[in-house]
Amino acid sequence: MMDSEAIQQVIPHRPPFLFVDRVLECEPGRRAVGIKAVSAGEPYFAGHFPGRPIVPGVILLEAMAQLGAVALLSDPQWQGRIPLFGGVDGVRFRRPVRPGDVIRLEVEIVRMRRGLGKGRGTARVDGELAAEGELTFALVAGAPTHPDPEGVDPATSTPTLEEGSA
């Protein structure tokens, strides 16, 4: 099992854009099962929708993609790569996900070749299917531009120039 800290050792995502709380099962390069506990304090609920909060469908897709990235980047041949979305197919949203729900995510990698692949993901709440779909992705070489926030303006996430540099 992996907690949030261990997940962040594998994938480059960080709060508030980390949507997997725990990984329960992981077969590197093949599949993973994870959990996302939805809190009423999630920042997207301020606008989606006030008075009737629902997790945006794109967040469910991103959570599945992040879990798939954990499965892939846990395989030594893909460690250190950056996962990028290439597309989604056959996506269906079956039920709303609300604050207090615990999402069980499952992703199976169905095809992988030369850094390009496809995974099949599901998101369930209390055993009921909330979302499903196929995720196409690419794993690209390289570390994040700023793995250490030092030297980055947090308001803009852009590098700051130090005195005397240009």
Please give the residue range of the domain that contains residue 9: 4-159
Residue 46: is its pLDDT beyond 80? Answer: yes
Whether 148 is in a domain gets the answer yes
Two structure tokens written together for 55: 């997790």
Number of domains in the chain: 1
Contact 58, 132 (CB under 8 A): no
Write down the pTM of the prediction: 0.85
Q: Given strand 22-27, what is the order of strands in its sheet?
A: 22-27, 31-37, 102-113, 116-125, 128-140, 82-93
Residue 51: is its pLDDT beyond 50? Answer: yes
Whether 164 is in a domain gets the answer no
Consecutive H or E run containing 34: strand 31-37
Whether 105 is in a domain gets the answer yes
Whether 119 is in a domain gets the answer yes
Q: What is the pLDDT of residues 136-149, one digit of tens each?
A: 999 999 765 544 55
Q: What CATH number does residue 75 fall under? A: 3.10.129.10
Query: Catalytic positions, please?
Result: 48
Contact 138, 97 (CB under 8 A): no
Whether 165 is in a domain gets the answer no
Whether 44 is in a domain gets the answer yes
Whether 93 is in a domain gets the answer yes
Whether 134 is in a domain gets the answer yes
Two structure tokens written together for 50: 């006030």
Share of the chain above pLDDT 70, in %: 86
Instruction: State the amino acid at position 10 in one-letter form.
Output: V
Q: Output the pLDDT for position 19.
A: 98
Residue 53: is its pLDDT beyond 70? Answer: yes
Residue 150's pLDDT band, with cuts at 50, 70 and 90, is: low
| b/e 19-32 (16+ beta carbons within 10 angstroms → b) | bbbebeebebbebb
